[in-house]
Amino acid sequence: MMTVSSGDTPVSDIDFGTDPFDDDKLHEECAVFGILGTDDAAKHTALGLHALQHRGQEATGIVCYDGTDFHAHRELGHVGDVFDKDRGIVEKLVGHAAIGHNRYSTTGAPMVRNIQPLFADFEFGGLAVAHNGNLTNALHLRKELVKHGSIFQSTTDTETLIHLMAHAKGSLTDRLIAALRRVEGAYSLVCLSRKKLIGVRDPRGVRPLVLGKLADPAKGTSAYILSSETCGLDIIGAEKIRDVKPGEMIVIDDTGLHSEFPFEKQEERFCIFEYIYFSRPDSIVEGHSVYDARKAIGRELARENPVPADVVVPIPDSGVPSAIGYAEESGIPFQYGIIRNHYVGRTFIEPTDEIRHLGVKLKHNANRAVIEGKRVVLVDDSIVRGTTSRKIVEMIRAAGATEVHMCISSPPTTHSCFYGVDTPERSQLMAARMSLEEMRAAIGCDTLTFISMDGLYRAMGLPGRDSAKPAYCDACFSGDYPITLTDVAESDGNGAAKLSLLREQKVG
């Protein structure tokens, strides 16, 4: 039996981000979390999702199992609002096992039917699925499945997996393996059945997934956990065991933990943007401290691009660790020259054209005391469309800076991502349509520099980027897509139409 509840908040009343005037970043599409073997599994999952809120802010959902029935709640909104204790929702999600999902806002109307985890009844019983990433042949497979009688209830890639499993034969794991062998793309997946919690990463390991354990000394037992990042373990006091390996399927049941590698081995290509921006700085990802990685990137940026200046100022919050590294390497003092308002929430005024130019100040304000009369190095993680960068440079100049030098701790973002990241079409990416000098002029800074690709790899402890065999997925910088883009090839050739469709059918 399955009981489901969902929120009734109108879509128009949902806050999909901290500042509707200022959305000029690449965004992860979602977070996944799963736990088996503890009382109040849903409460642990809600806490895990809260720690992973940065990976998805449009909607959240939890499915749990109590030994007899599945229970679920899915709703548009932030985790802290949806699962607020005063609403009493989590108390109704009883059981010893649960999985959860956070979804990021994409272009097109948000729909409750796309909120994960998805649930389906199979011959072997119920199955809940939550997915981080993107399947690059989902449209191709969807057309085939519809021809064979499948009726889709959502527009997510994740449902394609469920239909593929329905057409396969054998046990739960047999069907899941058969389905995943047919898909292309980047994914981290958690599934919950009546008896099993399952975690899977794609063979190239593009998206992250970690395995943890939560001990209960009073009972002498432990619960196993799957989480997109280690910060999801930290919040509930769990310890990290290890990263789930690329191409690995972990099955957890009442007999313990079982691991297998059912897919053909491929070269690993973990998403390097996880270190630059996506992951929380306090997470440990693929053996690297994200905070330390960002500081190292900042130090390399300073070595490659020395600028005579008086202060190093981060664009908060993502630019802070790299700015610290830049300041340490250059010897230029680090200062909080921009103060972020963490309590923006929904804007209290209508975003009309007359006041739209004030948008950036809702989120950031210049600290005139440390900027006026100074040569300023601004450090940020990336430039996407360039709109926010231009507004911030204008703000710093208005605060009295004599020079503004912008240093970016990633290479220029020149290509769209098709592996689960919300990216504008390539024609909207500033670095794809302008030269470096044109970008500098458009942004209005005195100098504009980016870390080189080799410099980025050196910061990660490698001698440089081996163009024949890169260690990471860096397609957004290089255009080197490591996973086949079947749906793009079957679209209009340049990917524009496909990107629009992906936004409507995003998994995240």
CB 31 within 8 A of CB 232: yes
Instruction: Judge whether 40 is annotated as a binding position.
Output: no
Instruction: Judge whether 318 is annotated as a binding position.
Output: yes
What DSSP element (H or E) covers 41? Answer: helix 41-51
Q: Which amino acid does the sequence have at 111?
A: M
Buried b / exposed e across 458-473, counting CB within 10 Å, b at 16+? bbbeeeebeeeebbbb
Instruction: Judge whether 407 is annotated as a binding position.
Output: no
What DSSP element (H or E) covers 486? Answer: helix 486-489
Contacts of 85 (CB under 8 A, 6+ apart): none
CA-closest candidate to residue 165, choices 135, 136, 124, 202: 124
Instruction: Judge whether 445 is annotated as a binding position.
Output: no
Cα–Cα distance between 15 and 57 in angstroms, integer?
A: 9
Strands across the sheet with 185-192, in order? 118-122, 125-135, 185-192, 197-201, 249-253, 256-260
Cα–Cα distance between 38 and 220 in angstroms, integer?
A: 11
CB 393 within 8 A of CB 445: yes
Which residue out of 30, 191, 231, 445 is catalytically annotated?
A: 30
Cα–Cα distance between 299 and 297 in angstroms, integer?
A: 5
CA-closest candidate to residue 117, choices 27, 224, 36, 45: 45
30 is catalytic: yes
Instruction: Judge whether 473 is annotated as a binding position.
Output: yes
For the annotated binding site for Mg(2+), the residues are 318, 380-381
Binding site: what residues are annotated? 271, 318, 380-381, 417, 473, 476
Kindly list the catalytic residues. 30
Q: Can you say which residues are annotated as belonging to the binding site for [4Fe-4S] cluster?
A: 271, 417, 473, 476
